[in-house]
Structure 1
Amino acid sequence: MKDIQNIVKDLENVRGSGANKIFTMYLNTDLSDPDQQGGEWKIHLKNGLNNFEHYLKEGNNEEELANYKKIKKKVKKFMDEIERNVMKGVIIVASADEEVWFAERVQMRLENEFEWQESPVLDQLNTLSEKYPRTGIILVQQDQVKLIDTNLNQVEDTAEYELDVEEDTWKVKQGPRHGRAKQGMGSSNIQRDLFSDRYEANQYRWYKSIAPKLDKQAKDREWKRIFIVGEAPASKTLETEMNKDVEDVILKNMLDHGESKILEKVLD
C-alpha cells in the first residue's frame, strides 16, 4: 500500500461532477466488537448500499442511479472476495467512471459510514493517517536486529540483521541460524560463554556500527515514527547512535514474539 498520508492527499483532490458523484464507505467488521458477534457487518453493508439506491430512485435521476449501481456492484464484488478475512474495518472510495477506486482492509475499528457526495469524506481516514503513519519498529537482542515496516497498523515488510562475530560485521540474515546449533551441548555452552565475553567488551561498538544501516532503512522506507524494542543497554545504545529521531524505547525483549503481538504492544 502507498503511504497512507500520500493516499489522503490524492483523495483530497478528487471531485465528482453532476451525476458522477463519489462513494465513500467506512465499515466496522471487527469480530471482537460485541456488536459484531453474528457478522452484523453484512447487514450494515446491505442496508447502507440499499439506502442510497432507494433515495436515488425516488429522485428520478436515472443517470446518477445508473452510476451508483455500477459502484454498488463493484463494492459487493470486493466484499465477497474478502469475506473470509475482513480484518477490523474496510474503507472504500470510488467513482462510477473508475477514475477513483481505493479499497483497503484495515486493522482498526471504524464507525459505519456511507456517503454519496461530490468529494470523498475523509475524516476517519485522516484520523487513521495521523495515528498510524508509516512506522518502523526496531527489535534488538544481543547479536540480532529485526526491522518491522508498518503502514496503517499493518506489517508491510520485515528485514533481519545478524552479527557475524568472526568477521565483526552485521549481515542481512538469510535463513535459520545454524552456527551454534551444530555444536555439542558442552561445546555450545563454551561458545555462548565466549560470545558473552565478547559481547560485554564490544556491544557499544557493535550497535554503533549498525546504526547507519538503520538510519538508511528509515530514510528509504520513509518512516514517520520509529520505535526501538529491546532490553537495555542495547536499545538505549541504538537510540543514542541513530541520527533519526526515535519516538520511544520499549525496554522489553520481544524479538521472538509474533508480529501482530508486537504491533499491538507498540502501536495500540
Structure 2
Amino acid sequence: MSFTKLERHVKELEDYCAESGHRVLSMYLNTEPDRNRPQSWKIKFKSGMKRLREYAEAEGGEEQVQMFDNLRPSVERAVEEMRGDLKKGLLLFACSSGQFTVVETVQVPTPDAFYWEDRPHMQELQEMLKSYPPAGLVQAGSEGVSVISTSLGEIVDEWHYEWDLQQDRWRQKKGLGHAGILASSANHRDQYDKKLDVNRQRWLKDFVPVLESHNRKQKWEEIILTGETDVTNDLDEMLNTKSRQRIIPKNFNGMPSAQLLQEVQSNLR
C-alpha cells in the first residue's frame, strides 16, 4: 500500500472514532526476522498490549479498560492473520469500537511503540516517511528506460519503455518486467548502436514529459537516476521538477525491479 492510501485510511479511522467518542490504539512493531530469536516480535507484542491496558486503567479507569478489553481480541486476530506476510515492520491502527482497523506490513525498519489515545499517533510513520519518501527510480539506458514508483521502501507501480525504431517514438512495454527489456531489444542492438549517438538527445527530450507526468501523478519527493552515465547525466539536466534529483553512478540494467530497489537503498545508506 502506498503512503497516500495508508494515510487516507488512517484519516477515515480518525474521523470515525472522533464522531463515536472512541479511543484509538496505534501500534508500531518491529517484525524483522531475528535468526537468534525468531519469535521475539510476539513477546514485544504481548508486552506492549499489557502496558497499554495498564495505561488505559491509569488514565480512564474501568470505562477505558472495558474499551481496551473489548478491542483486544480483534487486534490479536488481525496480527495473527498477518503472521505469514510479515516483513520488517507491522503498523496497526484500531478504533476501540472494534469496527475500524487499519493494518499494514512495511519493508523498512520500524520502531516498537504502542499508544492508546483519542486519535491515531502518526509521529513514527512520519519519521519513517522522511527516511523512505515517495520516490521514482529511473533505470535509463540505450535499450530503454524503466520507471519504478516506490513508497516506504516498496514498489507501488512500475512502467517500462523502449524506443520504437519503426514509429520513431517511445513505446511502453506491456507485461515485461525490468529484466526483460534488455532481452526483448537485443535483436535491435545494431540499429540502436548506429542511431544512439545521433539521436540520444532527441530521444531523451521526448521521454522527459513521460517521466514528469509520472512524477506529478505519483507525487514523488525525489527522483533517483541510475544507468548509463551519459544518459543519466542528460536526463538529470533536462528534467524540470520540484522533486529532489540525484544520480547513483551505477548501471543496474537487466536487474529485476525488486533487486534494483534493494541495490538503490543500499547505495543511499
Smaller-chain TM-score bracket: 0.7 to 0.9
> Aligned with 1:233: secondary structure?
helix
Whose helix fraction is larger, Structure 1's or Structure 2's? 2
Question: Relative to structure 1, is the Cα distance of residues 213 and 197 closer, same or farther in structure 2, using a 3 angstrom cutoff?
Answer: same
Runs of 4+ residues over 6 Å off in structure 1: 11-15, 57-60, 177-183
Q: CA deviation at 1:158?
A: 0.7
Q: Which residue of 2 aligns with 1:199?
A: 196
Contact 1:4 1:133 in 2 (8 A): no
- SS of corresponding position for 2:84: coil
1:86, distance to aligned residue in structure 2 (A): 0.7
Partner residue in 2 for 1:136: 136
User: Is 45-54 or 139-148 further displaced after alignment?
Assistant: 45-54
Is the partner of 1:109 in helix, strand or coil?
coil
Counterpart contact for 2:56–2:116, Cα < 8 Å:
no
Matched residue of 2:211: which SS?
Answer: helix
Q: What is the alpha-carbon distance in structure 1 between the residues aligned to residue 61 and residue 44 of structure 2?
A: 25
Tell me what 2:161 maps to: 161
Contact 2:162–2:173 (CA<8 Å) still a contact in 1?
yes
Q: CA deviation at 1:11?
A: 8.4
CA distance 1:252–1:30, shift in 2 (3 Å): same
The residue type equivalent to 1:242 in the other structure is L
Measure the CA separation in 2 of the matches of 1:3 and 1:108: 13
Alignment partner of 1:248 is 2:246: yes
**Match for 1:212 among 209, 212, 229?**
209
Contact map agreement 1:235 1:249 (CA 8 A) in 2: yes
**Alignment coverage as a number of residue pairs:** 260
Q: Normalising to structure 1: TM-score of the pair? A: 0.83
- 2:230 pairs with 219, 228, 233, which one? 233
What residue is the counterpart of 1:3 in the other structure? 3
Partner of 2:219: 222
Shift of 1:56: 5.1
Alignment of 1:114-193 (within 5 A): 114-175=114-175, 191-193=188-190
**What amino acid is aligned across from residue 252 of structure 2 in structure 1?**
M
1:63 positional shift: 3.3
For the 8 Å contact 1:25–1:92, the answer to whether it is kept is yes
Deviation of residue 24 (structure 1)? Answer: 1.3
Secondary structure at the residue paired with 2:39? coil
Distance 1:71 1:182, change over 3 A: closer
Residues 246 and 69 of structure 1, relative CA distance in 2, 3 Å threshold: same
Change (3 A) 1:37 1:254: farther
Q: How far off its partner does 1:102 sit?
A: 2.7
How far apart are 1:199 and its partner, in Å?
A: 1.2
| Offset at residue 91 of structure 1 (A) | 1.2
> Which SS does the other structure have where 1:26 is aligned?
strand
Give the structure 2 partner of residue 258 of structure 1.
256
Give the C-alpha shift of residue 99 in structure 1: 7.0
Which is worse superposed, 255-264 or 173-182? Answer: 173-182
Query: Partners in 2 of 1:128 and 1:21 — Cα distance?
Result: 24
Structure 1, gaps ≥5 residues long: none
Gaps of 5+ in 2: none
Work out whether residues 228 and 235 of structure 1, in 8 Å CA contact, stay in contact via their aligned partners in 2. yes
